[in-house]
Structure 1
């Protein structure tokens, strides 16, 4: 089995990476005392992470976020 390239690893873990980035940004904003942390938290978890899961996630990610994997919404 050939070793994965960094691009393949990024694509395979895009949903998890997006969740960590969203969490890091809103927590940094919270501890820095800026007022937009809650808005970013909600936007990140309601819009950004599910969108990344839909675009780059595997079938299990799509099923977790959007329901059935057969495309019947």
Structure 2
């Protein structure tokens, strides 16, 4: 079966392990591009754009770790 091109916010929430409200906030802030379909405020996120968002998150984390290491700061627990 082919991968879905568009994901509902419920799917995005499940993939990222966040609440629906958090997924909606990502869309509203523009951090996660989405389109609104239908007349009932249903949002869809393109699978490719979700993967790009995740990749950007990894890049930001790597930059943070490098900066902390360069300053000689210990990493917080859980990172």
TM-score by length of 2: 0.34
Structure with the bigger percentage of helix: 1
Q: Which has the larger radius of gyration?
A: 2
The structure that is strand-richer by fraction is: 2
